[in-house]
Amino acid sequence: MTDTFSKKLIEVALPLAAINEGSKPETENPFLKGHPRAIHNWWARTPLSVSRAILFAQLIDDPGNGLETEEAQRARRELLDFVAKLATWEATTDEKLIEKAREIILKQFKGKAPEFWDMFAGRASIPLEAQRLGLKVTSSDLNPVAVTIQRGLLEFPSTFSGSPPVHPQNDQNLLHSTVWKGATGLADDIRWYGKWVCQEAQKRLSKLYPKGPDGNVVVAWLWTRTVPSPDPSRNGAAVPLVRSFKLAGKKRHVWVFPKVNRKGNNFEFDIANGIVPEVKGTVSRKGATCLLSKNPMPFPYVRKQAKQGNMGTRLMAIVTEGNRGKFYHAPSDQHISAARQASPKWRPDCEMPKKHRNFQPPVYGMENIGDLFTPRQLVALDILCDIILDARKHILEHAKGNTAYAEAVTFYLACALSRMTDYHSNLTTWNPTNENVSHLFQRQAIPMAWDFCEANPIEGKLAYDAVAGWVASSLESLPTEAHPARVKQADARQETPSFGSAPVVSTDPPYYDNISYADLADFFYVWLRRILKSIDPHTFATLLTPKGPELIASPTRHGSLELAEKHFRHGFQNVFAEILQTAEPSIPCTIYYAFKQEEEEESSESPEGGNRVSTGWETMLEGLVEAGFQITGTWPVRTTKKARAVAKDANALASAIVLVARKRSLEAPHCSRRELLNELKRKLPSALKHLQQGNVAPVDLAQASIGPGMAIFSQYSKVIESRGRMTVRTALSLINQTLDEVLSEQEAEFDTDTRWCLAWFEQHGMKEGLYGDAETLSKAKNTAVNGLVEAGVVFSRGGKVRLLDRNELPEDWDPAKDKRLTVWEITQHLIYSLEKSGESGAAELLSKLGSGAGEAARELSYRLFQICEKNSWSKEALSYNGLVVAWPEIVKLATTARPTEQGKLI
């Protein structure tokens, strides 16, 4: 029964702003030194700082058990301050702080470290922090790539903590030390043997990878794909498919320059330096253009030629690295010949999904993982695999027969090879801004690339020894003094590990159909298995990653959307039922969830009247509620970077919602539909206000509101309506309906001119409307059109009225001199300043406005985002979302700005 256990801190309070601020180094810096993610790619990336803070707050009792006495509030504030310190990247290596956290936990549990279980552990972010906090960790996943990552982060470092390196002591030593703390000895061996593997590869591959025309090391060879020209007069000449001819465009300007010969049936590539007329690529989102004839080549034509085997490749440029930076060279016969002579003896054999939005190459005839590598890359990677297996024999000899240690080092060397493929395929592209090779997996997909890079695998920054160094660096901040974790490959639906005592549970499960982990992981699995199948035959028993049991809703895998949803729904019901029976009942479970792919509209004939529901949320929550859980807390936490690739053109979630759930009391009451609605209307407004004050991004608000709404719904054993027991789908629809009502009611807090602008914007957006309609609306809102024009928010002429675009706002606007200041006008000026001059520009304006006016603008942005989202005005929506996301930094900068006269709202 829920009420017999003390409330945990996470069920009462959480320093949300500090947690989200603390996640920034991990979410905004992909090259964060010493981060464990350097060990290997994975697609779910919960920040360590967030995992650590959530887990600690999940374990520790709330002072006063939720009561608001003065003493309890003081003790709670101290505890929240401590959680805020834990929620930073710097805390990862702060031994005194982590030791204090462990002491608090041990005291809570009377000196016995609690057990922990994450059955969807993925990259191990959550179990790694459980291990750091001193818990006895069991970590499992169905995917063998995830299991390999977990062994590398959770098992080997603790097992071999304090061990010295075993490599020969010669001039190639990378470290000189007599004390090998934690995993430093293991890391040194990874670097040393990584360098040895690379040196051996250089001996075998140097003919395939010659030096550049200037004698320098080649960084990359830049290729373009080609198809036959559709113009019959060109005699089937191969023409290039190039996204961009730009090579450098930040501090200097360098281009690939295609020169068409006089007869127009052939061309050559040359290098152009300096500012020249830009040569546009031959491929855009609309299709391709023939370089020779300028005739259009629609994508259906390109696909047809590719599937018929008529897609080729042609070298465009060679990039070398010298003492003074990078140099660009036109193609040479020597380098073309070196690439063409490669003849692979082995290639991965794994078909990709042919009809999936996240896998584009199969549409162009590249149906197999092996098709994603050039022949030269296949030869190089295969030889590296052979040399790593040879290295294992040497490690075993140097380790004097310590098989476990030799296998551990070989695991990391295999991870380096697999990690390396992210930069060594025929889908990696050149980044002209930073003048480097971009990796393939910038998002959870395998996209098509027209012009691509072939990086150097044996010399330079992307050579094997460099990548082995990345893997070694991933061990530097690991909690090696903690209990070695127990890592298992297991199907979460059916396989529950045995525990000495009931475990604490925290997990980040799959998000419906957002990420096809197994299909994506095959890209790496085929290379890992090439090396590790003899070392770990259980994990690498299958030719490809297990897919049938994977808990995602994949119609292409299960044959239909209905069957995919059934698999996902039933799977989660089984998982949550098992968690309910296995987990420690005195400690709530925490579940991260961030699904937002597509939403369905409820039928207009339904009692909900066409309100939005999310299938992903519905199926996950239904499993949770049906299993017997009650949601006792919800927290939106920042888990992804603002500028990630998928977010650039879409309102994708930046936060995960952490659901805090306990076993529902057997004595939980039931209620009617009307009683539930009354509870939602009574409690949701304050909950949503709290979310807004916590600066939850507008794009995340609808998802964040599901938490407090479901907390109300799940406290009842059942909710009765005319059709019987209320479903989770109906409850979600009612929650969304209440959210709309609450945001609409917040309009009453704005001035009359702003309320008119809101109503007009909802009907017309930024387009024109009839003056008569504007006048009628103005009377309803107690204002006038001429007054709105005077206020500087509306343009009226010729019987038409429209809202002023932000680009039309006066540059010299001074809020202190504005006699009719409106929240609408303030909001638009703040967004204009933010987009034009960044956070500092918006902060300068905010310092003139004052905090009250600024907060009103922030609240208006939530409502405007909601209107934009309903009308699919994505570009405008991003502006309002951007203001809220940047708000904490804007306020921080504004408080340090010199005080100025503040404008006042009327």
Q: Evaluate whether 583 touches 499 at the Cβ level (below 8 Å).
A: no
Q: How far apart are CA 781 and CA 775, in angstroms?
A: 10
Question: DSSP secondary-structure letter at 8?
Answer: B
pLDDT score of 844 more than 80: yes
Distances, alpha carbon 705 to alpha carbons 432, 459, 617, in Å: 42, 52, 12
Distances, alpha carbon 374 to alpha carbons 371, 458, 484, in Å: 7, 16, 40
Answer with the residue of higher pLDDT: 339 or 322: 339
* Mean pLDDT along residues 240-263: 90
Amino acid at 55: L
User: What are the tens digits of pLDDT across the range 351-402?
Assistant: 999 888 889 999 999 999 999 999 999 999 999 999 999 999 999 999 999 9
CA dihedral 714, 720, 724, 728 (to 10 degrees): -20
Question: What phi, psi does 805 have (nearest 5°)?
Answer: -70, 155
pLDDT band at residue 101, thresholds of 50, 70 and 90? very high
Q: How far apart are CA 807 and CA 646, in angstroms?
A: 27
Residue 703 CB partners (closer than 8 Å, separation 6+): 594, 595, 596, 614, 617, 636, 653, 655, 657
End-to-end alpha carbon distance in the chain: 53
- Token pair, residue 558, equals 């299960």
* Mean pLDDT along residues 427-452: 94
Q: How far apart are CA 464 and CA 456, in angstroms?
A: 9
Residue 491 CB partners (closer than 8 Å, separation 6+): 142, 546, 549
Distances, alpha carbon 550 to alpha carbons 150, 407, 567, 568, 811, in Å: 18, 28, 9, 9, 55
Q: Evaluate whether 729 touches 608 at the Cβ level (below 8 Å).
A: no
pLDDT score of 647 more than 90: no
In this predicted structure, what is the pLDDT of residue 540? 97
- HSE-up of residue 751 (Cα within 13 Å, Cβ side): 20
pLDDT score of 645 more than 50: no
Nearest to 51 by CA among 584, 642, 637, 471: 637
842-879 core/surface letters (b: 16 or more CB in 10 A; e: else): bbbbbbbbbeebbbbbbbbbbbbbbbbbeeebeebbbb
Q: Evaluate whether 379 touches 346 at the Cβ level (below 8 Å).
A: no
Strands 629-638 and 267-273: unpaired
In this predicted structure, what is the pLDDT of residue 614? 54
In this predicted structure, what is the pLDDT of residue 45? 78
- Token pair, residue 20, equals 């989200």
Amino acid at 654: A
* Mean pLDDT along residues 118-139: 96
pLDDT band at residue 595, thresholds of 50, 70 and 90? low
pLDDT band at residue 107, thresholds of 50, 70 and 90? very high
Q: Evaluate whether 655 touches 634 at the Cβ level (below 8 Å).
A: no
What would you report as the CA-atom Rg of the chain, rounded to the nearest whole angstrom?
30
* Mean pLDDT along residues 202-228: 97
Nearest to 817 by CA among 794, 785, 792, 796: 792
Lowest mean pLDDT among 79-83, 234-238, 369-373, 814-818: 814-818
In this predicted structure, what is the pLDDT of residue 603? 39
Cβ neighbourhood burial of 187 (10 Å; 0-12, 13-18, 19+): buried
Cβ neighbourhood burial of 201 (10 Å; 0-12, 13-18, 19+): buried
Question: What phi, psi does 130 have (nearest 5°)?
Answer: -65, -40
pLDDT score of 174 more than 60: no
Nearest to 676 by CA among 743, 725, 614, 624: 725
Q: Evaluate whether 11 touches 67 at the Cβ level (below 8 Å).
A: no
* Mean pLDDT along residues 247-273: 88
In this predicted structure, what is the pLDDT of residue 598? 40
- Token pair, residue 822, equals 């409106």
Supply angle C-alpha 71, 77, 79, rounded to 5.
105
Q: Evaluate whether 188 touches 158 at the Cβ level (below 8 Å).
A: no
DSSP assignments along 830-848, one per residue = HHHHHHHHHHHHHHHHHHH
pLDDT averaged over the chain? 89
Residue 787 CB partners (closer than 8 Å, separation 6+): 753, 778, 820
Amino acid at 884: V
Answer with the residue of higher pLDDT: 205 or 73: 205
Residue with tokens 């939530």: 862
Residue with tokens 């650039």: 648
Distances, alpha carbon 510 to alpha carbons 130, 564, 692, 720, 745, in Å: 20, 14, 27, 31, 36
Entry pTM: 0.86
Residue with tokens 């069957």: 563
pLDDT score of 601 more than 50: no
- HEC string of 12-51 equals CCCCHHHHHHHCHHHHHCCCCCCCHHHHCCCCCCCCHHHH
Strands 115-118 and 589-593: unpaired
Q: Evaluate whether 507 touches 592 at the Cβ level (below 8 Å).
A: yes
pLDDT score of 263 more than 80: no
Residue 761 CB partners (closer than 8 Å, separation 6+): 803, 864, 867
pLDDT band at residue 505, thresholds of 50, 70 and 90? very high
Amino acid at 740: D
pLDDT band at residue 586, thresholds of 50, 70 and 90? very high
Cβ neighbourhood burial of 646 (10 Å; 0-12, 13-18, 19+): middle
pLDDT score of 79 more than 70: yes
User: What are the tens digits of pLDDT across the range 508-541?
Assistant: 998 877 788 999 999 999 999 999 999 999 999 9
In this predicted structure, what is the pLDDT of residue 124? 95
pLDDT score of 643 more than 50: no
Q: Evaluate whether 589 touches 118 at the Cβ level (below 8 Å).
A: no
Give the helix ranges, DSSP H, for 781-850.
785-791, 823-849
The separation between CA 492 and the C-alpha centre of its own chain, rounded to angstroms, equals: 23
Q: How far apart are CA 301 and CA 87, in angstroms?
A: 53
pLDDT score of 652 more than 70: no
- HEC string of 623-640 equals HHHHHCEEEEEEEEEECC
702-724 core/surface letters (b: 16 or more CB in 10 A; e: else): bbbbbbbbbbbbbbbbebeeeee
Q: How far apart are CA 371 and CA 348, in angstroms?
A: 9
Question: What phi, psi does 209 have (nearest 5°)?
Answer: -125, 75
Number of residues that this document lists for the chain: 906
H/E stretch holding 412: helix 403-420
Q: How far apart are CA 761 and CA 781, in angstroms?
A: 14
* Mean pLDDT along residues 563-571: 89
Amino acid at 21: E
Amino acid at 631: I
- HSE-up of residue 50 (Cα within 13 Å, Cβ side): 30
User: What are the tens digits of pLDDT across the range 715-764?
Assistant: 999 999 988 999 888 988 888 888 888 877 878 888 999 999 999 998 99
pLDDT score of 657 more than 60: yes
In this predicted structure, what is the pLDDT of residue 178? 66
How many Å is the maximal CA-CA distance in the chain? Answer: 91
Strands 115-118 and 504-507: parallel
User: Helix, strand or coil for residue 453?
Assistant: strand
Question: DSSP secondary-structure letter at 579?
Answer: H
pLDDT above 90 as % of the chain:
62
Cβ neighbourhood burial of 66 (10 Å; 0-12, 13-18, 19+): middle
In this predicted structure, what is the pLDDT of residue 426? 97
* Mean pLDDT along residues 187-195: 97
In this predicted structure, what is the pLDDT of residue 169? 82
How many CB atoms lie under 10 A from the CB of residue 109? 17
Lowest mean pLDDT among 124-128, 291-295, 617-621: 617-621
- Token pair, residue 508, equals 């980040």
How many CB atoms lie under 10 A from the CB of residue 118? 28
Nearest to 638 by CA among 13, 14, 8, 9: 14
* Mean pLDDT along residues 131-142: 96
H/E stretch holding 350: none
